[in-house]
Chains A and B, each alone.
Chain A
């Protein structure tokens, strides 16, 4: 029988994979993909809580929709910034783009 714990553990595994990727990769596009993975993990948690704790209210699903809206805005602006950086430096290696590094 699949319970709430299964979904939460799956979401935790997905979140930690995304976190590892976002911390270690050097390609900026891959880092953005890993952030999308983490946002999806959060969405799974919200929908699982909504379906198991308050099945008639759908509160978690409403929050998941807002997370999707913010994720769409974030990926559009993030990819625009990556394209602008690529046009300027001809490089998307995060280790070489250290203009703002103190």
Chain B
């Protein structure tokens, strides 16, 4: 009963916040509502008894990615005076989105899932660590992910750096 109430509250919060992100005219408020949407997704993870993933969601999305996005919103202020307009693709996008939603809901509701009768693990941190770091687990993808993060950090620094050639030209 409690799980059902939590799910419906989180679902309403997530969908409302996502619609606000898409349709609000103020970009900064859209970023704040995106954070609310991330918090709702963390709550959904808790109802699915994925406690470690909920903590990671709060840390990574609510803590780090939202700060990056708000920083970008503030640094690009003045780039768009007219707020958050939509382009000429509005009607095709509505058709594509509605069609995809209909197909997905049809596929989800008509297929039969092999639901397991076992209880889900309630303390997932130690089993996740075993899965990720054990000998026959996902240790190679973890290393590749670390390399990808390092490359992304270096790439972000290189891309955003002021071009020294331009500075000399200005002088």
Contacts and interface: CB of A to CB of B under 8 A. Distances in A.
**How many B residues are at the interface, by size bracket?**
35 or more
Interface in A65-98: 65-66, 68-77, 79-84, 86, 90-95
Instruction: Decide if the interface of chain B is mainly helix, strand, loop or mixed.
Output: helix
A85 to B, nearest CB: 9
B21 A37 contact: yes
A72 B152 CA distance: 9
Interface residues of A, number: 76
Given A32-B69, A36-B65, A69-B145, A7 B50 contact: no
B90 A24 contact: yes
B30 to A, nearest CB: 6
Contacts of B79: 27, 86, 90-93
Contact of B27 (A6, A30, A44, A90): A30
A47 B45 contact: yes
B69 A40 contact: no
Interface of B: 3-4, 7, 11, 14-15, 18-19, 21-22, 27, 30-31, 34, 37-38, 41, 44-45, 47-50, 52-53, 56-57, 60-61, 64-65, 68-69, 71-73, 75-76, 78-80, 84-87, 89-90, 92-94, 96-98, 100-101, 104-105, 108-109, 113-116, 118-121, 124, 127-128, 131-132, 138, 141, 145, 148-149, 151-153, 155-157, 159-160
Given A16-B97, A32-B72, A58-B127, 10 more contacts: A19-B96, A23-B93, A33-B31, A34-B22, A37-B37, A40-B37, A50-B48, A62-B132, A73-B148, A92-B79
